[in-house]
Structure 1
């Protein structure tokens, strides 16, 4: 697929994965809960237009009380409640980008436990949905230790993660992408939703492609502008994964 993204957007997306020099005086935040809502106004009663998952780096454009105007890695703007994020300085984001990071590649949610040995429900401190990126490392063949954006640390099964740089450099696999799409069958439809917990139509596309390392734009009206256009008379040329 050929993406029509600005240089600014491309650099912003890459900076979420690879160590990268930032312009000074930027303001940042990271999602600190499994799935955070993005709204079109400053209030819980305003329309939810999208979501961002644990670990997503957000550029903070404005702060007004408990509401932040943020920009996501794909350039999507909206308001997020400050309780959903950990506010970060430039130096903190530089540390995160250069740290050892892991990506959740488990389609079911991954539970993070307070201890490497205890696995009772009361020992769960959080969970990660598919493609959450967190600081972490392998401590033995079966366990990783992760640090969440708000500073809490916990333990999880190593089979649910791969290193961020390995995830980002994988060749695209349409069969695996289609498997994720089929796995999401029965997932609740929710306007503005964009995670394995619930999706809307363009959210489904975004979740499926991001699982394979491709960050699409958010809305259908934006996604129509990426890749190679297929006209209605070319239906015989359609392939699996075409939108």
Structure 2
């Protein structure tokens, strides 16, 4: 993502904007230097330092709505499923600007992801997990299957911490143990 523009003022050119491609920014500044263009560099390189090293996340809702702007009324750009790892570029209010594995850039509400460091994400990737394969289902708070705690959709990825005859004991990226019917999950 490169979102940079040059603005001319009485003090000369000012480069403003942001990018997650530092090499592209360096190439642009190199070309400007070669051409003898004087400028002030006001480009922000992403991920934003305010994220304090937590520039990856996992989707924690069964389906997270990804928006074109950081507000609920904005156009729905796409959606991401529970357990999807995303890159986090910056924060604005209660929203994060993220990039999905299939390269979509969009805004997600902070309550729909769990921020983490690269090390934490790698640790999660190495855990034993299942992928939910039924079209739609539920996670329960206990083996008795009476209290639903979340819904699931096909493709949801959950950590598995055990299994019984007809259930998997699962953990969401930020929840303690829950249970899902074995019929709808396969180990990955």
TM (norm. structure 1) is 0.53
Structure 2 CA distance, aligned partners of 1:113 and 1:26?
30
SS in 1 for 2:159: strand
Structure 1 CA distance, aligned partners of 2:161 and 2:131?
11
Structure 2 CA distance, aligned partners of 1:152 and 1:74?
29
Look up the match of 1:45: 73
Deviations 1:118-177 (A, max 9, x none): 222xx111121001111114422311011001133201111211112xxxxxxxxxxxxx
Q: 1 or 2 for the larger relative contact order (CA 8 Å, sep ≥6)?
A: 1
RMSD: 1.4
Per the TM alignment, residue 39 of structure 1 is displaced from its structure 2 partner at its CA by 0.7
1:32 aligns with 2:60: yes
Structure 2 CA distance, aligned partners of 1:48 and 1:156?
29
Give the 5 Å matches for 1:60-139. 60-107=88-135, 109-116=136-143, 118-120=144-146, 123-139=147-163
Look up the match of 2:27: none
Q: Conserved in 2, the CA contact under 8 Å of 1:111 and 1:127? A: yes
Higher strand share: 2
Structure 2 CA distance, aligned partners of 1:76 and 1:86?
18
Deviations 1:84-133 (A, max 9, x none): 111122222111110001000112x22111111x222xx11112100111
TM (norm. structure 2) is 0.68
Aligned structure 1 segments of 4 or more residues deviating by more than 6 angstroms? none
Deviations 1:11-60 (A, max 9, x none): xxxxxxxxxxxxxx561111111111111111111111100111111100
Deviations 1:208-241 (A, max 9, x none): xxxxxxxxxxxxxxxxxxxxxxxxxxxxxxxxxx
Q: Could you say which structure has the larger radius of gyration?
A: 2
Q: Conserved in 1, the CA contact under 8 Å of 2:54 and 2:115? A: no
Q: Conserved in 1, the CA contact under 8 Å of 2:54 and 2:116? A: no
SS in 2 for 1:61: strand
Structure 2 CA distance, aligned partners of 1:148 and 1:27?
19
Look up the match of 1:19: none
Structure 1 CA distance, aligned partners of 2:57 and 2:113?
6
Structure 2 CA distance, aligned partners of 1:28 and 1:70?
9
Look up the match of 1:58: 86
Higher helix share: 1
